[in-house]
Amino acid sequence: MSTNPVEKRRQKCEVYTRVVGYIRPVAQFNNGKKAEFCDRTVFKKM
Protein backbone atom coordinates (compact mmCIF):
# COMPACT_ATOMS: atom_id res chain seq x y z
CA MET A 1 0.00 0.00 0.00
CA SER A 2 1.23 3.49 -0.81
CA THR A 3 2.29 5.88 1.95
CA ASN A 4 1.65 8.92 -0.24
CA PRO A 5 -1.05 11.06 1.50
CA VAL A 6 -2.57 12.07 -1.85
CA GLU A 7 -3.11 8.41 -2.76
CA LYS A 8 -4.97 7.82 0.50
CA ARG A 9 -7.52 10.59 -0.28
CA ARG A 10 -8.46 9.31 -3.73
CA GLN A 11 -12.04 8.23 -4.42
CA LYS A 12 -13.65 6.47 -7.33
CA CYS A 13 -15.21 8.88 -9.79
CA GLU A 14 -18.74 7.94 -10.82
CA VAL A 15 -19.37 8.44 -14.54
CA TYR A 16 -22.89 9.11 -15.82
CA THR A 17 -24.16 8.95 -19.37
CA ARG A 18 -27.43 9.74 -21.09
CA VAL A 19 -29.28 6.61 -22.21
CA VAL A 20 -32.57 6.96 -24.11
CA GLY A 21 -33.56 10.22 -22.45
CA TYR A 22 -32.40 9.65 -18.88
CA ILE A 23 -29.10 9.84 -16.98
CA ARG A 24 -27.65 6.58 -15.66
CA PRO A 25 -24.36 5.65 -13.92
CA VAL A 26 -22.03 3.58 -16.10
CA ALA A 27 -21.18 1.35 -13.10
CA GLN A 28 -24.72 -0.08 -13.24
CA PHE A 29 -24.43 -1.16 -16.89
CA ASN A 30 -24.40 -4.86 -17.75
CA ASN A 31 -21.35 -6.29 -19.57
CA GLY A 32 -22.83 -5.75 -23.04
CA LYS A 33 -23.75 -2.13 -22.37
CA LYS A 34 -20.27 -1.45 -20.88
CA ALA A 35 -18.64 -2.80 -24.05
CA GLU A 36 -20.96 -0.65 -26.19
CA PHE A 37 -20.14 2.41 -24.05
CA CYS A 38 -16.40 1.94 -24.73
CA ASP A 39 -17.05 1.84 -28.49
CA ARG A 40 -19.07 5.08 -28.58
CA THR A 41 -17.78 8.13 -30.41
CA VAL A 42 -17.94 11.39 -28.46
CA PHE A 43 -18.89 14.47 -30.48
CA LYS A 44 -18.06 17.99 -29.36
CA LYS A 45 -20.19 21.05 -30.02
CA MET A 46 -18.77 23.53 -32.48
Neighbouring residues of 30: CB distance < 8 A, sequence distance ≥ 6 = none
Residues 24-45: pLDDT tens digits? 998 999 999 889 888 888 888 8
- Looking at the domain assignment, is residue 45 inside a domain? no
Q: Torsions phi, psi of 32, nearest 5?
A: -65, -45
Torsion of CA 5, 7, 13, 29, to 10 degrees: -140
Looking at the domain assignment, is residue 1 inside a domain? no
**Predicted confidence (pLDDT) per residue in 14-27, tens digit:** 989 887 788 999 89
Residue 30 lies in a domain: yes
Q: Name the residue type at position 8.
A: K
Residue span of the structural domain in which 16 resides: 11-38
% of the chain surpassing 90 pLDDT: 17
Residue 16 lies in a domain: yes
Domain count, the chain: 1
Q: What angle do CA 41, 43, 46 make, to 5 degrees?
A: 165
Q: Nearest 10 degrees: CA dihedral of 24, 26, 34, 11?
A: 180
> Would 43 be classed as within a structural domain?
no
Reported pTM: 0.52
